[in-house]
Amino acid sequence: MIYRDKAIYNTFRLEARADTYIEYSSAEELARELPGARRPFLHVGGGSNLLFACPRFEGTVFHNAAVDIEVIGGDSSSVLVKAGGGLVWDKFVQWCIARGYYGAENLSLIPGEVGAAAVQNIGAYGAEVKDIIESIEAFDVETCKIRTFGCSECAYGYRSSLFKTSEGRRYFVLGVVFRLGLEPRFNLSYGPLRELDNPTLESVRAKIVSTRKAKLPDPEEVGSAGSFFMNPVVGQDKYNSLVASYPDMPHYPAADGMVKLSAGWMIDQCGFKGFSRGRAGVYERQALVLVNRGGASAGEIISLSEEIISAVSEKFGVTLRPEVQIVK
């Protein structure tokens, strides 16, 4: 499916168009369309992690429309499920829960699609999607060949992967294979989840859904891209100096002895929660979320984000980095 001069859906609700938009459902379709497509290429999912700084993308936007899902294997304790990259992520989570498959429940209600989830390494409430990924089937736009990546080959880190690097952008995610548990095993590291008596897949999901709805705006009602910034990760020495001045600073253990700090808490401490600058603002219930209050431009949102970065750097000596992908 090919559209010319097409508006690009994005949850920030910014006006953005593409010279050409190609939607495909298979590697064969993609291979047919690629040779004549104008570069640069941009591969998008549900548009829930994008900020279009340009009103027109002068190239080709691709979208994977494959939404198939099937069990392809497993053993006595786990099952392998393959999902198309275009499947809405939360539909995948609901599908797993309905069949008694464990592992995806902590990632309930995260917006976006399966392919983008694997690229971004989405995470919430003590879990990351890499924890359940077995392999990824990707299309190499330079060779027009399919390549399968094992999870260990994807260079996963905090909100990062091979597919977000300059080298890895040559790969479009076609589908993802997940390994899910068949026996009850829950990740209850997130505080409110520990309050559950006799947790079930349904009760864990319900708790997470209610928590997300209480803290985060509904993208159908308020323009945003969820968490705008990543939580910064600092060394132990830096953390020690900060906690001496801010003993109540939230923190979490990270890899290699590092410490993850709460970007939302720091932004709140700088007085930005509920703040507005023009038609862009900071969400009243969660300072990590920037919102379009109606008719905001990309420039207004970027300007507000830069103001926040500057304030946090001055107060805490920590540099925030956007989680949102800014398309220029």
- CATH number at 151 reads 3.30.465.10
Examine the fold and report which residue of 150, 185, 207 is the final residue of a domain before the chain moves on. Answer: 207
What integer pLDDT is reported at residue 196 of this predicted model? 95
As a whole number of angstroms, the distance between CA 45 and CA 43 comes to 7
Residues in the chain, pLDDT under 70 = none
Looking at residue 61, its pLDDT comes to 97
Q: What's the pLDDT score for residue 54?
A: 92
For residue 74, what is the enclosing H or E element? Answer: strand 69-74
Number of domains in the chain: 3
Q: What DSSP letter does each residue of 139-167 carry, written as one string?
A: EETTTTEEEEEEGGGG--BTTB-GGGSTT
Condensed to tens digits (0 to 9), the pLDDT of residues 194-213 reads: 999 999 999 999 999 999 99
Are residues 60 and 75 located together in one domain of the fold? no
pTM of whole model > 0.75?
Answer: yes
**Claim to verify: residue 274 and residue 311 sit in the same structural domain:** yes
Tell me whether residue 32 is one of the annotated catalytic residues. no
The answer on 114 and 15 residing in a single domain is: no
- Same-domain check for residues 142 and 235: no
Q: Is 227 a catalytic residue?
A: yes
Would 50 be classed as within a structural domain?
Answer: yes
Amino acid (one-letter) located at 149 = F
pLDDT value of residue 89:
98
Select from 11, 35, 64 the last residue of a domain: 64
User: Is residue 213, in this structure, part of any structural domain at all?
Assistant: no
**Given this model, what pLDDT does residue 198 score?**
94
The pLDDT value given to residue 292: 98
What is the residue range of 12's domain?
Answer: 2-64
Q: Which of 42, 64, 86 corresponds to the end of one domain? A: 64
Query: Would residue 321 count as lying in a domain?
Result: yes
Which of 161, 227, 277, 300 does the annotation list as catalytic?
A: 227
Q: Which one of the listed residues 159, 170, 279, 293 is annotated catalytic?
A: 159
Where does residue 14 rank: exposed (0-12), middle (13-18), buried (19+ CB within 10 A)?
buried
